[in-house]
């Protein structure tokens, strides 16, 4: 346990550029304080001590804003950054060197007994506000985007985003855990692909309309020109709205 505590302390200096000295880390980092308390509570829980581990974990929750059940198993070098609102369930297993941000829930999905909480592999990164629910396996080097809801197993070396969470990137290369802000934007890519397809279809329709107009009478041609003008104005309006949507910060 002492070795794990030392690793928990050292990993903060590696992953947080705001960590300046050991006194600041010891007294001002609730994630470290919660882990210190949990490791003692978990030891009492393994020994079968009744009530006391839960009382101590509730006191730690009051001080740090981080709720960790004494039954949870947490590896060494885990960093809970900021940590307010983090909830870790009883049968959760967290591998070594995981990075967890504020608002994360590692919880269950029902009232079933036994293993009902997730298992995280090594070097996993769980973004702010993400929810990982149920007895599922999260592989090594997995990145879960902020606000995602993960309900199924995730293989190693993958990136998961969305509600429900879906795998958008696979790689055999270990990722930098601090690059959690560089997630692919699958929604934007799909929307842009659809827009390109729509523009291609509109161009084909315009070509067909032009050929048809050449074979029509003068009056029909004039009517077609008027109709195309209206359609063109509507298309320009829709294109403007789509471009504003694609260029917005939400995509």
pLDDT in tens, 7-48: 878 888 777 777 778 887 788 888 888 889 899 999 999 998
Please report whether residue 27 resides in a domain.
Answer: yes
Please report whether residue 177 resides in a domain.
Answer: no
In a shared domain, residues 145 and 97 = yes
In a shared domain, residues 69 and 151 = yes
Q: Which residues contact 68 (CB under 8 A, 6 or more apart)?
A: 34, 35, 37, 38, 41, 57, 60, 61, 74, 86, 88
DSSP string, 118-155: -EE-TT-EE-TT-EEESS-EE-TT-EE-TT-EE-S-B-
In a shared domain, residues 152 and 220 = no
Distance of CA 228 to the CA centre of its chain: 45
Number of compact structural domains in the chain:
2
In a shared domain, residues 166 and 48 = yes
- Looking at 141, 170, 199, the residue that finishes a domain is 170
Q: What is the pLDDT of residues 134-157, one digit of tens each?
A: 899 998 988 888 888 888 888 888
In a shared domain, residues 92 and 147 = yes
CATH number at residue 61: 2.160.10.10
In a shared domain, residues 73 and 153 = yes
In a shared domain, residues 128 and 213 = no
Distances (CA, A) of 182 to 65, 127, 144, 210, 236: 28, 12, 11, 46, 33
In a shared domain, residues 9 and 119 = yes
| Tens of pLDDT, residue by residue, the chain (251 residues) | 677 778 878 888 777 777 778 887 788 888 888 889 899 999 999 998 889 999 999 998 999 889 999 999 998 888 888 888 899 988 999 988 889 998 999 988 877 778 889 999 988 999 888 999 989 999 898 888 888 888 888 888 888 888 877 777 666 545 455 555 555 555 666 677 777 778 888 888 887 877 776 666 555 554 555 544 454 555 555 555 556 555 544 43
Please report whether residue 203 resides in a domain.
Answer: yes
In a shared domain, residues 115 and 209 = no
Give the per-residue pLDDT at 54: 92
In a shared domain, residues 87 and 163 = yes
Q: Are 34 and 100 in contact (CB under 8 A)?
A: no
- Looking at 108, 135, 170, the residue that finishes a domain is 170
In a shared domain, residues 53 and 147 = yes
For residue 25, give both structure tokens: 């880390």
Range of the domain at 240: 186-247
Please report whether residue 181 resides in a domain.
Answer: no
In a shared domain, residues 7 and 103 = yes
- Looking at 170, 205, 230, the residue that finishes a domain is 170
Please report whether residue 67 resides in a domain.
Answer: yes
């Amino acid at each position: 346990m002492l070795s794990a505590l030392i690793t928990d302390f050292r990993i903060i200096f590696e992953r947080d550029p705001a960590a300046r000295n050991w006194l600041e880390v010891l007294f001002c980092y609730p994630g470290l304080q919660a882990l210190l308390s949990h490791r003692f509570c978990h030891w009492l829980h393994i020994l079968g001590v009744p009530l006391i581990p839960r009382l101590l974990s509730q006191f730690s929750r009051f001080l740090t804003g981080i709720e960790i059940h004494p039954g949870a198993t947490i590896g060494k070098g885990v960093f809970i950054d900021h940590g307010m609102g983090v909830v870790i369930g009883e049968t959760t297993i967290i591998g070594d060197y995981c990075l967890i941000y504020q608002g994360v829930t590692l919880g269950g999905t029902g009232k079933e007994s036994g293993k009902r909480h997730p298992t995280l592999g090594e070097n996993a990164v769980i973004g702010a506000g993400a929810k990982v629910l149920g007895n599922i396996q999260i592989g090594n080097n997995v990145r879960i985007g902020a606000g995602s809801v993960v309900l199924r197993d995730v293989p190693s070396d993958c990136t998961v985003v969305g509600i429900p969470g879906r795998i958008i990137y696979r790689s055999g290369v270990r990722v930098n855990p601090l690059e959690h802000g560089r997630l692919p934007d699958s929604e934007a890519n799909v929307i842009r692909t659809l827009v390109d397809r729509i523009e291609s279809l509109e161009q084909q329709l315009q070509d067909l309309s032009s050929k048809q107009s050449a074979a029509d009478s003068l009056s029909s041609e004039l009517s077609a020109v008027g109709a195309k003008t209206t359609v063109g104005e509507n298309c320009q309006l829709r294109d403007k709205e789509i471009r504003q949507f694609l260029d917005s910060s939400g995509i």
